[in-house]
Amino acid sequence: MPAVIQIAPSILSADFARLGEDLDAIESADMVHFDVMDGAFVPNISFGLPICQAVDRYTDMFLDVHLMIEKPVRYIEDFVRAGADLISVHLEADGPRGIAAALAEMDRCGVKKAVALRPITSPNAILPYIKELDMVLVMTVEPGFGGQSFMTHQLDTIRQCRAIIDQHNPRCLLEVDGGVNLETAPLVKAAGANVLVAGSAVYGAGNRAAAIQALREA
């Protein structure tokens, strides 16, 4: 397991009336996780391009954009222009040709590339793409809402993804999103994750910087 652990607070848990302050509070993190939901691929609507642009104008932090939307190829260029540094697309959000087209569009736009897996998806689904990826994102809750409980059976998915990454593309990061807190962080790290998305565990803490450091050290 890689020794360096990165923390990506999810601003889905931030107070949008005080978003600038809530971004300042996580400046010690490694990246900002930005959840985009369309109400179709997942049963919720979050935020989109205007908020992404505003976050990019406000902070120099690395912007990790997680697209929970159908046929994501349509919006790759728009989110790159809005400031995305890395984009994750769900393997379940389109057919193989559509996913390949989305990754090719990321190449054209010069943004880092990732694919995301819902809990129902086999780790082997990343195999056709693994050699070109910068990151794999494993969901440990069903995507669509923050604050859900961690699915422990997804630890095996994390382990299998780690084995695939180590065999085919060791530079690729392995991110985990969903129910990550001080109790579950050691479990996902031991399974092979090196990027931890945390919403409630960071934004629910009185001292966000201390919460970020505690997750790194958990």
Active site members = 35, 177
Closest to 106 measured CA to CA, from 72, 137, 127, 76: 76
Q: What are phi and psi of 177, to 5 degrees?
A: -135, 120
Distance of CA 81 to the CA centre of its chain: 19
Burial of residue 103 (number of CB atoms within 10 Å: 0-12, 13-18, 19+): buried
Torsion angle of C-alpha atoms 75, 81, 85, 90, degrees rounded to 10: 0
Identity of the residue numbered 207: N
